[in-house]
């Protein structure tokens, strides 16, 4: 078994790894563990389902569906974020942890968000993060354009009343000697 196959098999991780994975999600996406009890959650780009294994192990009424564009036997489905194989209004929460954080590189951000909204139940939430941005002084022109474009897409969806609210939650961090702003985009239907 090669290293990548080993890393993709959830049986090679212990309870501590699963808890640590959950804690990373919780910190980066501002998740309240107790509020996830009994929810149906879509984890986009999860690759290794430690978040699912931790939550479902602790809260039997919680259901987490893991998808990624790359095939992995521990996933629930192989799918692209812009073509989700689920019925409308299927999920209470959609999380994209470290999978869409470079969402400026995706030409189809609007299509991905519309697909997320389609499968999200009324009053549900989408949480995308961590989105890391260097202090504004370090932003290049291309990065500024991408950020503006994506904010415009989210605001357009809000103005069309497709979503009810948008928040950008922020965690300032220092990585090395750089000031980094880490954001979590929260969209409510």
Q: What is the pLDDT of residue 101?
A: 57
- Is 179 within 8 Å of 165 (Cβ atoms)? no
- What is the value of pTM for the model shown? 0.80
Q: pLDDT tens across 41-75, in order?
A: 999 987 778 899 899 999 999 999 999 888 777 78
Q: How many residues does the chain have?
A: 189
Helical axes 141-159 vs 109-119, angle rounded to 10°:
40
Among the residues of the chain, which ranges form H helices?
3-8, 15-29, 50-58, 109-119, 141-159
Torsion sign (Cα): 75, 80, 83, 88: positive
State pLDDT tens for residues 77-135.
Answer: 888 888 999 999 999 999 998 876 555 555 677 888 889 999 999 999 999 888 766 55
| Chain position carrying tokens 């961090």 | 173
Tens of pLDDT, residue by residue over 133-156, are: 655 555 567 666 766 777 777 777
């Amino acid at each position: 078994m090669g290293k990548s196959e080993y890393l993709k098999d959830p049986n090679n991780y212990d309870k501590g790894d699963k808890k640590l994975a959950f804690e990373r999600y919780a910190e980066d996406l501002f998740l309240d563990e107790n509020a996830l009890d009994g929810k149906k959650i879509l984890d986009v780009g999860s690759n290794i389902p430690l978040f699912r294994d931790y939550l479902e192990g602790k809260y039997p009424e919680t259901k987490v569906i893991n998808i990624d564009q790359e095939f992995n036997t521990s996933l629930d489905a192989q799918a692209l974020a812009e073509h989700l194989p689920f019925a409308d209004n299927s999920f209470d929460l959609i999380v994209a942890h470290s999978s869409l954080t470079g969402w400026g590189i995706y030409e189809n951000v609007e299509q991905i968000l519309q697909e997320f909204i389609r499968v999200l139940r009324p009053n549900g939430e989408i949480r995308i993060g961590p989105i890391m941005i260097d202090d504004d002084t370090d932003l290049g022109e291309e990065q500024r354009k991408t950020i503006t474009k994506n904010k415009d897409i989210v605001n357009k969806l809000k103005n069309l009343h497709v979503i009810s609210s948008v928040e950008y939650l922020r965690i300032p961090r220092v990585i090395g000697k750089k000031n980094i702003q880490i954001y979590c985009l929260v969209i409510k239907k």
